[in-house]
Amino acid sequence: MMPHVFVYGTLRRGGRNDIARYRPAPVWIGEASIAGTLYDLGAYPGVVLGGTRRVRGEVYVVEPAVEAALDVLEEVAADGSGEYIKRQVRVEVGGQGLDCLVYEIHPARIAGRRVIESGDWIAHAARGDAWFSQPKD
């Protein structure tokens, strides 16, 4: 069985790393949200799982080759010391519970970072709240 992945940042549709660019093409399942706190890391976000906040995202089915490419993009390390840690979370999509891979930011990377109150990276970036969206002087 191919894995499902929940994406919440630049991998979302319209993001600069849109997951649709990967091959074989990921299969869209639907929009969803998970329990977590979303942090602004500059050019991209990171989620810390759990708590009462919600983080918006999208669920896709991906081939193992795409999962491997995402592991490289997210700098996952086998010993848990990478930028992101790959976790499995139960996500409800259209009334169906799915076990999804989620890339959680390493806790050491969020010190001093701003929480994205909306839990929605795409909306946050579109409003110009992300550093890379700010107009240049």
Rounded CA gap, 49 and 104, in Å? 7
Largest CA distance in the chain: 50
Rg of the chain over CA atoms, in angstroms? 14
Comparing C-alpha atoms, which of 73, 57, 56 is closest to residue 21? Answer: 73
pLDDT value, residue 52: 96
* Of 137 and 73, more confident: 73
- Residue-wise pLDDT tens digits, 39-89: 999 999 999 999 999 999 999 999 999 999 999 999 999 999 999 999 999
What does DSSP assign to residue 90? E
Q: How many CB atoms lie within 10 A of CB 31?
A: 13
pLDDT, average across residues 106-130: 90
Mean pLDDT is lowest, of 52-56, 123-127, 133-137, for 133-137
The pTM for the full model equals 0.91
Buried b (16+ CB within 10 A) or exposed e, 54-79: bbbbbbbbbbeebbebbbebbebeee
Note the pLDDT tens digit of each residue in 9-38: 999 998 999 999 999 999 999 999 999 999
Mean pLDDT of the chain: 92
Give the residue numbers marked as catalytic.
74
